[in-house]
A and B are shown apart, each in its own frame.
Chain A
């Protein structure tokens, strides 16, 4: 059951990442509106399809399904044209929309296929069915780096192999001050680990960007520091501490653009007074305590629940 949930959440991510044009069928069949219903039957039968878009002079004018055809048959209207029976108010999707839009439309209308339109030309460019979506997702799942996938699999199953009412993981990183070549190693390691543990990309991004800014601060202003991540099923809490010079005026330090960075830090692309505001921006909760001459303690929290809604 847990396996299924993990797989489903990965699939859910892909429905946001993949675009309709990546999965749609581009070798689709079309008919025109002057075709007779009995010829339509031949097309549906030969191609083994359950519905087909109606296109006149390059313009999408309707769609017909096997249900429409059966209705015609019942009423003995096999000699009439497709135009009389087709659905003219066609629901379509744009090729560049994320897959999730298609999934939502399938649920909303209960149709089995949607014509796909190019946003630029307004012309039909493909057809998408539920099968196309499943195929597209499976193909994408296969192309993810095998080796990394194996590690991810192992890491994300740690939770299942441990028996406890609550599980939390603690990760600790030591940061060397003043060494700009090594700055970022802790955050990079954390990013890799969170990916392997199977966290959603948006969560990984927020945790690692905020941690990276904090790591750069340790390297820029202090001799050394520590970064600890506490991860449980509800949140990622980061604790970042150093025994550096401390921050004299925290309110001032939180102002975008305010900086006490030395020139060498500025020349390296940091120290423009945006680090702390960035940490605030990417986290749900930020607590900064500092004593001049003693050091600084930063605690951040990123909630794991409903992350998708919060980031809409």
Chain B
């Protein structure tokens, strides 16, 4: 298990909502909400380009450890408000998906096998 604290620090992520006192067990990368609903697993860290308010609901539903928005994307206002309300962790990075996933992988966070 990796702590979110370490991840945020090591990868210089900007936290805009939620708290980082939590462990991460794996990673999932997708920009399709239905795919995340179907395949992401509890305590995964989710990497996406999507900034739409629905990402908060998905993270909540799947009990994900947090969301990383890539490519310098900012959450929409509605997304940010809802994330704060529901205490969903949203982190921002300038890096593209490929690179941030690569760096997480190097820290020992892997994608889990699909059940």
Determine if B34 and A257 form an interchain contact, defined as CB atoms under 8 angstroms apart: no
Determine if A267 and B33 form an interchain contact, defined as CB atoms under 8 angstroms apart: yes
Determine if A272 and B49 form an interchain contact, defined as CB atoms under 8 angstroms apart: yes
A130 to chain B, nearest CB (A): 40
- In the assembled complex, A269 has its CB within 8 A of some CB on chain B: yes
- In the assembled complex, B31 has its CB within 8 A of some CB on chain A: yes
Q: Which residues of B contact A272 (CB under 8 A)?
A: 31, 49-50
Assembled-state Cα–Cα distance A266/B30 (Å): 12
Contact with B73, one of A257, A266, A267, A269 (Cβ below 8 angstroms): A257
Determine if A257 and B76 form an interchain contact, defined as CB atoms under 8 angstroms apart: yes
- In the assembled complex, B97 has its CB within 8 A of some CB on chain A: no
Q: Which residues of A contact B50 (CB under 8 A)?
A: 272
Assembled-state Cα–Cα distance A154/B41 (Å): 56
A301 to chain B, nearest CB (A): 28
B contacts with A, residue count (CB < 8 A): 11
A255 to chain B, nearest CB (A): 11
- In the assembled complex, B32 has its CB within 8 A of some CB on chain A: yes
Assembled-state Cα–Cα distance A269/B35 (Å): 12
Q: Which residues of A contact B52 (CB under 8 A)?
A: 266
Assembled-state Cα–Cα distance A269/B50 (Å): 11
Query: What residue in chain B is nearest A258 (Cβ atoms)?
Result: B76
Determine if B51 and A269 form an interchain contact, defined as CB atoms under 8 angstroms apart: no
Query: What residue in chain A is nearest B73 (Cβ atoms)?
Result: A257
Determine if B32 and A257 form an interchain contact, defined as CB atoms under 8 angstroms apart: no
Query: What residue in chain B is nearest A259 (Cβ atoms)?
Result: B52
Determine if B76 and A269 form an interchain contact, defined as CB atoms under 8 angstroms apart: no
Per-residue CB contact flags for chain A residues 192-232 toward chain B (1 = under 8 Å, else 0) read: 00000000000000000000000000000000000000000
Assembled-state Cα–Cα distance A272/B51 (Å): 9
A249 to chain B, nearest CB (A): 16
Assembled-state Cα–Cα distance A257/B80 (Å): 15
Determine if A257 and B31 form an interchain contact, defined as CB atoms under 8 angstroms apart: no
B30 to chain A, nearest CB (A): 11
Per-residue CB contact flags for chain A residues 261-284 toward chain B (1 = under 8 Å, else 0) read: 000001101001000000000000
Determine if B76 and A267 form an interchain contact, defined as CB atoms under 8 angstroms apart: no
Chain A residues packing against B (C-beta within 8 Å): 257, 266-267, 269, 272
| Additional 7 contacts, C-beta under 8 A, given A257-B51, A269-B31, A272-B50 | A257-B73, A257-B74, A257-B76, A266-B52, A269-B32, A272-B31, A272-B49
Nearest 9 Cβ contacts at the A-B interface: A267-B34, A267-B32, A257-B51, A272-B49, A272-B50, A257-B73, A257-B76, A267-B33, A269-B32
A-B contact pairs, 14 of them (CB 8 A): A257-B51, A257-B73, A257-B74, A257-B76, A266-B33, A266-B52, A267-B32, A267-B33, A267-B34, A269-B31, A269-B32, A272-B31, A272-B49, A272-B50
